[in-house]
Amino acid sequence: MKKIAVLLSGCGVFDGTEIHEAVLTLLAITRAGAHYQCFAPDITQMHVVNHLTGEVNTDETRNVLVESARIARGEVLNASTLDVSQFDGLVIPGGFGAAKNLSNFATTGSNCDIQPIVENFIREFGLAHKPVGFVCISPVMIPNIYGKGAIGTIGTDVETAHAFNEMGGKHKNAQVEDIVVDEVNKIVSTPAYMLATSILEAHIGIEKLVNKVLEMA
> Which sequence positions are flagged as catalytic?
136
> CB atoms < 10 A from the CB of 3, how many?
14
**Contacts for 83 with CB less than 8 Å, ≥ 6 apart:** none
Most distant CA atoms of the chain, gap in Å = 46
Q: Can you spell out the DSSP letters for the chain?
A: --EEEEE---SSTTTS--HHHHHHHHHHHHHTT-EEEEEE---B-S--B-TTT--B-TT---BHHHHHHHHTTT-EEEGGG--GGG-SEEEE--STHHHHTSB-HHHHGGG--B-HHHHHHHHHHHHTT--EEEETTGGGGHHHHH-TT-EE---S-HHHHHHHHHTT-EE----TT--EEETTTTEEEE-GGGT-SSHHHHHHHHHHHHHHHHHH-
